[in-house]
Amino acid sequence: MENFMEISDARTIPVSEYLESVTDPLRRAAIASVFEQARSALELMRVRFSVDVPVPEIFVLTTDEIKAQANPLGLIVVSQGMIKHCFDTAIPSSKVKAGNEDYLDGLPDLFPQIGLTWVLAHEYAHLFRAHHQVQIELGSHDHVLRAFEHDADLCAAAAVYRAVQQWLPGVQDIDIRCYVIYALFWIITTFPNTNDGAGVHPSFSERFFQILLKLTTMQAMPGDVLDLDVNLPATANRGDALRNVAIACETAYLAKAPGTKNDFFMQWHEYFKSYGHIAIINEWIMVSPFVEKHSHTTADMQRHASVVPMTMSDIARLEKAERKRHRRAQARSRTQ
């Protein structure tokens, strides 16, 4: 959830008006198609989550900043910078991605389609999961806002996966999961400040680990065994395949930006060492019952929890440590 109130020189316009401003007819047609497919994915999301909140109107903010917003009034606003980001992100050779190369290489718009759908689904999740109402009840504490971002990330990842299942009928399930991971890696890792964990938005290492875990444990078909603890061989094999895609992507990313200090592998090491993967789950466990109460969707993770929920004092201690870490990082950046 972003706040656009600080932007004074940008206009919020309908998608149709934005498309009229795109002079290249092929580009205009591609963007229109992606918006149409993304909207169909959000409709599928609404049905699968059994929510009453309709898919909202989508507007475009005329700024090159990379932003998106779920407006409490029930609108989704995405910046033209975000649209450009999804379409123009430089991606590595197709050898990096796993799956059916011939089939996927014949779909040039699939990458921006996944990226923009994930962004819009993330914002739609903020709306139908009633995050604003929960925020009114619980307050704007860091752990509450982080839990919202965690929830929206995973709802959006699930929505994209289900959409691609429909977009690519006949393609093997593992190939679909691998391509989704591949696309989300390059879309998210190239967000501005994504490796710094801007505000309450998680760092890339945290965000991508949780998305990878979600795509590892999701059921391919309704009725399949839900294996949240990755105990079944099939689930573990999916996890290995997705992790291999992530490693290949990170290797390619480091090759594109030699000497980068945002080494995903090192971030994951620090993330696990500080039990970050447990902390965010515990934060979500604390907030999820309130999300379920206000949204009337299945959300309460306490019934599935395999970790011991944190207390409020635990959360406060982690938030204090996180603020201290940010101050140190800012001090280092000023001296460089």
pLDDT digits (tens, 9 = 90+) for 63-91: 999 999 998 788 999 999 999 999 998 77
What pLDDT shows up at residue 101? Answer: 52
* Cβ atoms of residues 34 and 113 within 8 Å: yes
The pLDDT value given to residue 73: 83
Tell me which residues of the chain have a pLDDT lower than 70: 1-8, 92-108, 193-200, 257-277, 303-336
Q: Which residues contact 33 (CB under 8 A, 6 or more apart)?
A: 109, 113
| Residue 109 pLDDT | 79
Give dist(CA 137, CA 118) in Å, integer: 27
* Residues making up the chain, counted from first to last: 336
User: So what's the pLDDT on residue 160?
Assistant: 96
As a whole number of Å, the end-to-end CA separation of the chain is 31
Report the run of H or E that residue 13 belongs to, with start and end: strand 12-14
pTM of the predicted structure, to 2 decimals: 0.83
Long-range CB contacts for residues 64-72, cutoff 8 Å, separation at least 24 = 65/7, 66/191, 66/192, 67/2, 67/4, 68/2, 68/119, 68/120, 68/122, 68/123, 69/1, 69/2, 69/3, 69/4, 69/123, 70/1, 70/123, 70/124, 70/126, 70/127, 70/131, 72/132
CB hemisphere CA count around 16 (13 angstroms): 1
Paired residues of 70 in beta bridges: 76
What is the pLDDT at residue 204? 80
Task: Answer whether 129's CB lies under 8 Å from 47's CB.
Answer: no
What pLDDT was estimated at residue 327? 67
- DSSP H helices, the chain, are 15-21, 25-48, 80-88, 101-105, 110-128, 131-138, 142-167, 173-189, 204-217, 233-256, 264-273, 276-295, 312-335
Q: What is the largest CA-CA distance in the chain?
A: 56
What is the pLDDT, as a whole number, of residue 18?
A: 96
